[in-house]
């Protein structure tokens, strides 16, 4: 549907993600103004009904809600930092990926220029934008989020995390840490099983079940972390460490990479050396909560 009866919205940055965002707004019936440094990337959107602004400043003036999605924060500042750009009164939602400190600094910068600013993170690929699968995180003033939530709903499952502008970026990287950890653990197991002729497809459903089972533990373990109390209700860390040694030995014996199991065991060993061997696994938060190269 593109009957253009919705709230006007501007999208600045029409890379792969920006095009998907603008396309979703158009599809949901929002009059959509677009701008991109390379103008040709707007062609398809213009054919679908978008209005191409001649400059980024003109795009901002087209309405009171602007989404920016460019490569990085430096590009955003290059684009919107000029004195000819008027941000006063506009709501700027920055869906560019970056660090939490960059988000907080951008919020100060935008607010000093009179803008309402929300920072965001997109946990989805462009083809998912506009579907419930697309998780889009926002942080900043709640009133600014609520004021535009019904418009943002066109993009997917939009979520508000809190007033601290850095939260969207932090949740974003926390999600990536989870994703790579699960994938790496699965690859380790797959490599082990392939040495015995078990193919990846055979192991995948078993691995899925294990991952889902472990995910069930998280709320209970989170309670231990939040209360800073780690009684060994099901297993002590030193028992886990013996199983880690077994994983290392097995990996080396069958000739697969043992780097990841060794890293996991090194972290547990430090915690045991600090006297936590009789406590439960989440006590490792103390190791994860401090810097180490
Ligand atoms: N693609 C994904 O799957 C995905 C998923 C989650 C989050 N993201 C995030 O979304 C953001 C955009 O990603 P993308 O996939 O759309 O990247 P992309 O296809 O490489 O597009 C980058 C965009 O940034 C613009 N840009 C870069 N430097 C600029 C500058 N100095 N001045 C003006 N415009 C500049 C580009 O303009 P030109 O077209 O003129 O080069 C283009 O519009 C990134 O922060 C990315 O991490 C992407």
Residue nearest to atom 29 of ligand 1 (CA): 75
CA distances from 65 to 12, 71, 96, 281 (A): 11, 20, 16, 46
Residue 293: is its pLDDT beyond 80? no
Would you say the CB of residue 122 lies under 6 angstroms from ligand 1?
yes
Long-range contacts of 252-257 (CB under 8 A, 24+ apart): 254/192, 254/195, 254/196, 255/195, 256/188, 256/191, 256/192, 256/195, 257/188, 257/191
| pLDDT confidence tier of residue 77, bands split at 50, 70 and 90 | very high
164-179 per-position pLDDT tens digit: 999 999 999 999 999 9
CA distances from 176 to 104, 124, 170, 172, 189 (A): 20, 11, 10, 6, 20
Rounded-to-integer distance, Cα 236 and Cα 244, Å: 13
Which H or E run includes 68?
strand 65-68
Q: Measured in whole angstroms, how far is the alpha carbon of residue 102 from the centre of its chain? A: 15
Q: Which of 56, 172, 72, 79 is closest to 120 using CA atoms?
A: 172
Q: Which of 263, 254, 279 is closest to 181 using CA atoms?
A: 263
Q: Are 73 and 97 in contact (CB under 8 A)?
A: no
CB contact burial 186-209 (16+ within 10 A = b; e otherwise): bebbbbbbeeeeeeeeebeeebee
Average pLDDT for 210-229: 98
11-23 per-position pLDDT tens digit: 999 999 999 999 9
Given this model, what pLDDT does residue 74 score?
Answer: 97
Full-model pTM:
0.93
Residue 4: is its pLDDT beyond 60? no
| DSSP class of 33 | E
* 256 phi and psi angles, rounded to 5 deg: -115, 170
Rounded-to-integer distance, Cα 242 and Cα 244, Å: 5
Rounded-to-integer distance, Cα 251 and Cα 148, Å: 52
Q: How many angstroms separate the alpha carbon of residue 158 from the centre of ligand 1?
A: 20
Given this model, what pLDDT does residue 84 score?
Answer: 87
Per cent of the chain over pLDDT 90 is 96
Q: Which of 52, 67, 70 to mutate to test the pocket of ligand 1 (most atoms within 8 A of CB)?
A: 70
Q: Measured in whole angstroms, how far is the alpha carbon of residue 267 from the centre of its chain? A: 25
Q: Which of 63, 90, 68, 91 is closest to 17 using CA atoms?
A: 68
Q: Are 114 and 107 in contact (CB under 8 A)?
A: no
Q: Are 52 and 39 in contact (CB under 8 A)?
A: yes
Q: Which of 10, 17, 82 to mutate to test the pocket of ligand 1 (most atoms within 8 A of CB)?
A: 17
Ligand 1 atom at minimal distance to the Cα of residue 17? 16
Q: Which of 10, 12, 15, 16 to mutate to test the pocket of ligand 1 (most atoms within 8 A of CB)?
A: 15
Work out whether strand 116-123 and strand 135-139 pair parallel, antiparallel, or are unpaired.
antiparallel
Rounded-to-integer distance, Cα 35 and Cα 58, Å: 9
Q: Measured in whole angstroms, how far is the alpha carbon of residue 49 from the centre of its chain? A: 30
Average pLDDT for 73-99: 95
Would you say the CB of residue 13 lies under 6 angstroms from ligand 1?
yes
Residue 3: is its pLDDT beyond 80? no
């Amino acid at each position: 549907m593109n009957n253009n009866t919705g709230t006007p919205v501007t999208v600045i940055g029409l890379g792969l993600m920006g095009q998907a965002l603008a396309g979703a707004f158009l599809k949901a019936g929002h009059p959509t103004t677009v701008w991109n440094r390379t103008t040709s990337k707007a062609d398809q959107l213009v054919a679908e009904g978008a209005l191409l602004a001649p400059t980024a400043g003109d795009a901002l003036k087209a309405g009171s809600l602007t989404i920016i999605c460019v490569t990085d924060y430096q590009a955003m500042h290059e684009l919107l930092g000029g004195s000819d750009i008027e941000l006063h009164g506009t709501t700027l939602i920055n869906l560019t990926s970056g660090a939490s400190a960059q988000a907080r600094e951008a919020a100060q910068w935008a607010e000093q220029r009179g803008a309402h600013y929300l920072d965001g993170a997109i946990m989805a690929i462009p083809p998912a934008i506009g579907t419930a699968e697309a998780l889009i995180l926002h942080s900043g003033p709640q009133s600014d989020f609520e004021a535009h939530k019904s418009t943002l709903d066109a993009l997917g499952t939009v979520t508000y995390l809190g007033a601290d502008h850095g939260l969207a970026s932090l949740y974003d990287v926390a999600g990536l840490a989870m994703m790579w950890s699960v994938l790496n653990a699965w690859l380790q197991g797959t490599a082990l099983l392939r040495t015995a002729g078990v193919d990846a497809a055979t192991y995948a459903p078993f691995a899925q079940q294990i991952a889902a089972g472990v995910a069930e533990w998280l709320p209970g373990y989170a309670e231990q972390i939040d209360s800073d109390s780690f009684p060994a209700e099901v297993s002590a860390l030193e028992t886990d460490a013996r199983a880690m040694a077994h994983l290392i030995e097995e990996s080396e014996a069958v000739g697969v990479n043992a780097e990841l199991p060794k890293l996991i065991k090194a972290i547990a060993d430090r915690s045991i050396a600090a006297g936590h061997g009789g406590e439960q696994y989440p006590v490792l938060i103390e190791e994860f909560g401090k810097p180490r190269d």
